[in-house]
Structure 1
Amino acid sequence: MRNEIIEICNDITEIRNDITEICNNITEIRNDINEMRYENKRIEKTISDLNNNINRAREIFKDESERTGRTISDLNNTINRIHETFQSENKRFEKSISNLNNGINEKPNGCILIIIRTKQYAYGSNEETLWKEFTSLVDQKRISEGHSLNSMFIEIASKNSLAPRTVYNFYHRIADLQEVSVNRIKKWVIIESLAANQYVLD
């Protein structure tokens, strides 16, 4: 009888150990489950962040694409305006040349007589003469067309690839200009003189 009791006690101890092991296993499983849940949340957050980054990248690309499209459109419009201005100036120049040739071909006793005089500024030999002719033409156009000086400076600058300040400085003789600027002003003076039938040859 005593041996049976001892055996039963041993069985109970084994059962207790088994229960303890099972509890430990359950705890490990719970820990694994919690770890998996945490990992799943981390993966879910990573996916969410990735989606947000993709959406932001799409928005940035869309904005950049629209901005690039607007820039290209503005550039095309600017090129078209420059081309139209060039064509207009070219037609005006050709008309002035035609008028000049017609006038020169007239007989002295005809209706038109072109007065021929020397224009040294046309060949770059006299900047003083160029300045006098320039200011004279600017003042004539300003009065006849009802423009202000500033608007004249802006108009001349835009048609000759100059800064309005450069035209202003030359008109008021504030500073010496670079040769390229002087040459562009010479071109304007020659064209305006032709338009007024005042241009003369050496």
Structure 2
Amino acid sequence: MDELELLKKNWQNSDQSMPKLTYDEIYKMIWKRSSSIVKWIFYISIIELVLGVIIFIFTADKKYWAEMEAYNMKGITIAIYIITYAVAGYFVYRFYMNYREISVIDNTKTLMNNIFRTRKTVRRYIAIALGLTAIYGSILSVSMLKSENFMNAIRDELNQDLTSSQWIIIIILSIIIVMISTLVIWLIYQLIYGILLRRLRKNYKELQKMEV
């Protein structure tokens, strides 16, 4: 049992004339814990953005862009990168604002509102990230299937034109790849952000009990 749980137990077992300091101590511990969680959400979003930039720098070389150009996908790929980093940058800013706001909170109600707002922002970020992944994957799949160079490469590999059944298989495989990619990202976000969100929810419930 951690220090907060011990304080809560003592507080609940005390009579109604308990010192105000005990309530304040419990509140401050919840506030510090919540502030730390929000700070880590902000830090993780920065790490995620930086890792994305590093991966882009090391993978998007001349050969990569030449392939995108050959498949008529360069413009779409550039647009995807711009939108992705713009969205990531916006949410990094939102997470920073949440952290800055929670750092100066001095009452329970405001802290509860900040926790609620932070959890909502994170859930919105995850939903948008998953949506963009599915949309981008679908766009790239369609672009590749419409690319003459890409289809010629497949024909050369098979040494024949694609039959109707082969087209169906390719389309199904493309859908499966997009779904798996989206699922993997969802699992990663659940592992990273999900733990922090559950801790924030626990803090929120503790504050609700204190307000009763």
TM-score, normalisation: structure 1: 0.32
Structure richer in helix, relative to its length: 2
Q: Which has the higher contact order (CA 8 A, sep 6+)?
A: 2
Larger radius of gyration: 1
